[in-house]
Amino acid sequence: MSITHELKKMLISFWKPTPAVIALGVLSVYYFGITGTYWAVTGEFTRWGGHILESLGVDISDWGYFNIMGMKGNSLTRVDGVMIIGMFGGIIAATLWGNKLKFRLPASRIRIYQALIGGIIAGFGARLGMGCNLASLFTGIPQFSAHAWFFTIAMIVGVYFGVKFTQLKLFRSKIQMQKISCDVPQVMQKDSAKGFFTFGTIVFSLIIVWALYLIFFVGSTKLGIAMLFGSAFGLIIAKAQICFTSAFRDLFITGRSQMSRAIVIAMAVSTIGIFSYIMIGVAPKIMWAGPNTIIGGALFGFGIVVAGGCECGWMYRAVEGQTHFWIVGIGNVIGATLLAFVWDDIAPIVATSWPKINLLESFGAYGGLLFNYLLLFLLFLLILKIEKNYSNKLKAENYAK
Q: Which residues bind another protein (CB under 8 A)?
A: 12-14, 17, 98-102, 104-107, 111, 172-173, 175, 177-180, 183, 186, 188-190, 193, 240-241, 243, 246, 249-250, 253-256, 258-259, 308-309, 317, 320-322, 324-325, 394, 398
Q: Is the dihedral of CA 173, 175, 179, 185 positive or negative?
A: negative
Residue type at position 353 = S
Residue with Cβ nearer another protein (253 or 346) = 253
Q: In this complex, which beta carbon is closest to another protein, that of residue 196 or of residue 363?
A: 196
Q: How far is the CB of 188 from another protein (least distance, A)?
A: 4
Residue 324 CB, nearest approach to another protein (Å)? 6
How far is it between the farthest Cα atoms of the chain? Answer: 70
CB of 116 or CB of 294, closer to another protein: 116
Nearer to another protein, 61 or 178 (CB): 178
Give the list of residues 6+ apart from residue 69 with CB closer than 8 angstroms, or none.
43, 46, 47, 50
CA gap 266, 81 in Å, rounded: 25
Burial of 73 (0-12, 13-18, 19+ CB in 10 A): exposed
3-state SS of 263-330 is HHHHHHHHHHHHHHHHHCCCCCCCCECCHHHHHHHHHHHHHHHHHCCCCCHHHHHHHCCEHHHHHHHH
Phi-psi region of 241 (alpha: psi -120 to 50; beta: other; left: phi over 0): left
Q: Least distance (Å) from another protein to the CB of residue 330?
A: 16
- Residue placing its CB nearer to another protein in the complex, 221 or 391: 391
Nearest approach, Cβ of residue 253 and another protein (Å): 6
Residue 199 amino acid letter:
F
Instruction: State which residue, 300 or 371, has the beta carbon closest to another protein.
Output: 300
Give min distance, CB of 120 to another protein, in A: 17
Q: CB of residue 96 vs another protein: minimum separation in angstroms?
A: 11
Provide the 10 A C-beta neighbour count for residue 396: 9
